[in-house]
Amino acid sequence: MNKYIRMMIEVPTGILKMSMIKLFHGTSVKLSLISAISPSAEITVDRKAKVSIGSQFRQRSGSHIRIRKGAKLKIGNNVSVNHGCMIVSHENITIGNDVYINFGCTLLDCGQITIGNNTLLGPNVSIYSGNHSLDAAERIAGALIPEPITIGNRVWIGGGSTVLSGVTIGDDTVIGAGSVVTHDIPSGVVAAGNPCRVLRKITDKDKVGFPI
């Protein structure tokens, strides 16, 4: 059966009024009741896809999550997906706990995308885990090279940055706004530019006296 089953789910917590989820037959969806999905946000789950979403999940208006046939999406607790975001999983997307995805972000998973705990994505960050062939004939024929992307814990990726396939970003690193990340970035550094490069290590001198 190729038509969606349309479900209106009422969450009796007072945090959320209603949400729209589109499902194919044969899907597996686990959604915590303590969530806040805007009525104009959508989650679309194709056949044989698997979705697990933790508690205190917030998905704002105009955002769309699409899990393609046979793909997987796992979202931890206390995750925010803001207005206008597009998340598409062809393979496997894993998002940890306490992750904030600001408005207009795009996550396009052709291989695998993993985002660690307490990570911040600024506005209009794009993460692409697939690459087309540089050869025109192969590209026209549909050549696509998937490579996983791994973003560590407590990472901040500044607004307008792009993370390309095959990249690993280490824990506690900050990526400057507008960067294009084409290769691995180690833990605990400030990195920026196109292509993104390490500028310096983060030290105690970077503390601003904010109460912890």
Active site residues: 132
Tokens 């407590």 found at: 154
Tell me the residue type at 21. Answer: I
Residue 25 exposed, middle or buried by CB count within 10 Å (0-12, 13-18, 19+): exposed
Is beta strand 162-163 parallel, antiparallel or unpaired with respect to 18-23?
A: unpaired
Tokens 């992750």 found at: 99
Residue 93 exposed, middle or buried by CB count within 10 Å (0-12, 13-18, 19+): buried
Query: In sequence order, which ranges of the chain are alpha helices (DSSP H)?
Result: 136-140
Of 54, 51, 55, the C-alpha closest to 65 is 51
Tell me the residue type at 92. Answer: N
